[in-house]
Amino acid sequence: MKITMRLGEEADVDELEQLYNSLNDYLSATTNYPGWKKDVYPIRETAVDGISESCLYVAVCDSKIVGSIILRHEPEPAYLPVKWRKELNYEEIFVIYTFVVHPDYLGHGIGQAMLDFTANFGSQLNMKSLRLDVYENNLPAIFLYEKCGFEYIDTVDLGLSEYNLDWFRLYEKLL
């Protein structure tokens, strides 16, 4: 399966919204590891914002968007007091947000390809680290991150308890 990565474009918004909805429908019908909810997160505005900030990348297979990832330099506030592996300025860091794979493509290596792209792209741009958070019960994502060389740093509260998402594990991969 050949996957290409590219910067998201305005023309992708409808397809990304369908991807988010398909994934949220799948999660609500199976085990909702990330705790995401349709019409809450991720939503159309997630894609619009990521594209307008030029930080949303899409994974394409056979002309279809099969995944997306947002790479920002801004951390969640809960990241700031944490002792990371290396003290860095956030301009030297990609923080991974809204990492999604279409449910029809789960288990086909899309997620790993997207993380490999992120590490390679980050290295090309002289980034020093990749950081992310993951809901503590999202075991498939945790397994993938650890398999791809991310190291557990700490567990924090991101303020999402109203959605029953109390604790998030922080991970980092030095580049």
The phi and psi torsions of 117 (rounded to 5 degrees) equal -55, -45
**What is the model's pTM?**
0.95
In one-letter notation, the amino acid at residue 112 is Q
Q: In CATH, what number is assigned to the domain containing residue 62? A: 3.40.630.30
Q: Which helix (H) or strand (E) holds 93?
A: strand 93-101
Domain count, the chain: 1
What is the rounded CA–CA span in Å between residue 22 and residue 106?
12
List the domain range (segments joined by +) for residue 123: 4-174
Nearest CA to 100 out of 127, 73, 65, 76 is that of 65
pLDDT in tens, 26-71: 999 999 999 999 999 999 999 999 999 999 999 999 999 999 999 9
